[in-house]
Amino acid sequence: MYSNDGRIFDVHEAYNELQEPSAPISAEITRITGITNEMVAGHKINAEKVAEVVGPAALIIAHNAAFDRQFAEKAFDVFSTKAWACSMTEVPWKDEQLDGLKLEFLALKSGFFYDAHRATTDCQAAIELLARPHSLSPARWLFQPY
């Protein structure tokens, strides 16, 4: 939860599950994420739990929301009922003297390192970035639901 001036004052417990995809995970995806075919074998994300967790949200913020949104809405109906915002394209990072947009780059330039490319840690990194003091008021950020 966050206030109108952008202060984050509550972060809910993370919910994370794996799901076996319809095709094998490529070596490239395993290299990037560390997720193997063996890790997902027989796993399925609980759609009821997703709806329970996402249901109360007024806004879904994702880093590169255009990418994440298409998958989330296809897999879980609850995401198609929500407003979305993008922390990659709707925060004026250049005005913060940050020229790159990748989450890992923004984290490093903001003074912290994290184990990237896993859902929970990427979300925690985005929250950390958005919670940090910025030279611009968060009210000037461009979070407009789309």
Q: What is the pLDDT of residues 71-84, one digit of tens each?
A: 999 999 999 999 99
Residue 131 placed within a domain: yes
Residue 24 placed within a domain: no
Number of domains the chain contains: 1
Residue 114 placed within a domain: yes
Q: Are 51 and 76 in contact (CB under 8 A)?
A: yes
pLDDT of residue 146: 47
Percent of the chain at pLDDT > 70 equals: 86
Residue 3 placed within a domain: no
Confidence of residue 70 (pLDDT cuts 50, 70, 90): very high
Residue bearing the bigger pLDDT, 46 or 144: 46
Is 30's pLDDT higher than 70? Answer: yes
Confidence of residue 58 (pLDDT cuts 50, 70, 90): confident
Question: Domain limits at 106?
Answer: 94-135
Residue 6 placed within a domain: no
Residue 9 placed within a domain: no
Q: Residue range 15-41: average pLDDT?
A: 96
